[in-house]
Amino acid sequence: MTASLQKGRPLKQLTRGLCPSQLALSTSRHARGQRRLALRVQAGEKEKVLAILYEAKDGAKNPQLLSCVENELGLREFLEEKGVEYVVTADKDGENSEMEKHLEDATIFISTPFHPGYLTKERLDKAPKLKLAITAGIGSDHVHLDSAAANGLTVAEATGSNNVSTAEQAVMQILVLVRNFVPAHEQIAEGGWDIGAVCKNAYDLEGKTVGIVGAGRIGRLVMERLKAFNIEKMVYF
């Protein structure tokens, strides 16, 4: 780890546009963080990984559902073979939570987007050994980034890990809207059967023009999947 990351960006990008005094302060903070890390490594300090995951209960029977407490991201055997202490919990809120208990001597922190453990300024101030905060997915909204930078903490995410899922979700939502699915489902759930009320606003996707706002990694995947529906035209912005 040679650079602090903020939203997945290296220190050089983070300091772009700063005035000389701000740049000196940012660089100094980064250097202090790297020195602390080097001292810990030289001292042979044992690593401790704290993972905040959700409880999947019956869903955990699916071994591919890794990001839950029960399946532990599939990391326990790997980490313990290397002598790393691995703590996994869903308890993340309040002063008496398991997260608060273990954060003070954790060196690596892992969280997920949908059950985030919040690394506030106050929590980071009480976690002097922490050197890496990872999102097992996308996003860093749960981390106080200014404090992370000041403490020389690397903040990282699995960029692109949800691209396919998000693209497929978008295609599903397009179909749900075009086919007027939700009103039809609600009508049937309430015991109704008014075909005309549903069909008057239900259409085929074939031959339509579809607009996509943002043709980046996800937008391009959406367009690739829409080809199979014989779209007349795709417009992207």
Given a contact cutoff of 8 angstroms between Cβ atoms, the answer to whether 15 and 68 are in contact is: no
Closest C-alpha among 214, 209, 203, 213 to residue 230: 209
pLDDT at 41: 46
Mean pLDDT of the chain: 85
Whether 25 has a pLDDT exceeding 90, the answer reads no
- Give tens-digit pLDDT for 93-151: 999 999 999 999 999 999 999 999 999 999 999 999 999 999 999 999 999 999 999 99
Whether 10 has a pLDDT exceeding 60, the answer reads no
| pLDDT band, residue 43 (cuts 50/70/90) | low
- Give tens-digit pLDDT for 48-91: 999 999 999 999 999 999 999 999 999 999 999 999 999 999 99
- Give tens-digit pLDDT for 170-219: 999 999 999 999 999 999 999 999 999 999 999 999 999 999 998 899 99
Judged by DSSP in three states, 56 sits in: coil
Q: Is the pTM of this model over 0.95?
A: no
User: Mean pLDDT throughout 159-164?
Assistant: 93
What's the token pair of residue 97?
A: 């939570």
Tell me the C-alpha distance between 114 and 233, whole Å: 35
Given a contact cutoff of 8 angstroms between Cβ atoms, the answer to whether 149 and 4 are in contact is: yes
Which segments of 40-162 are extended strands (E)?
A: 48-52, 85-89, 108-111, 132-135, 154-157
Query: DSSP letters of 1-19?
Result: --S--BTTB-HHHHTTT--
Give every CB contact of residue 134 below 8 A, 6+ residues apart in sequence: 108, 109, 110, 111, 156, 157, 158
Three-state SS string across 158-202, please?
A: CCCCCHHHHHHHHHHHHHHHHCCHHHHHHHHHCCCCCHHHHHCCC
Tell me the C-alpha distance between 82 and 78, whole Å: 7
Tell me the C-alpha distance between 66 and 109, whole Å: 16
Tell me the C-alpha distance between 144 and 124, whole Å: 8
pLDDT at 237: 84
Residue that the structure tokens 């397009």 belong to: 174
pLDDT at 7: 36
Tell me the C-alpha distance between 51 and 38, whole Å: 23
Full set of structural domains in the chain with CATH: 11-157 (3.40.50.720), 163-236 (3.40.50.720)
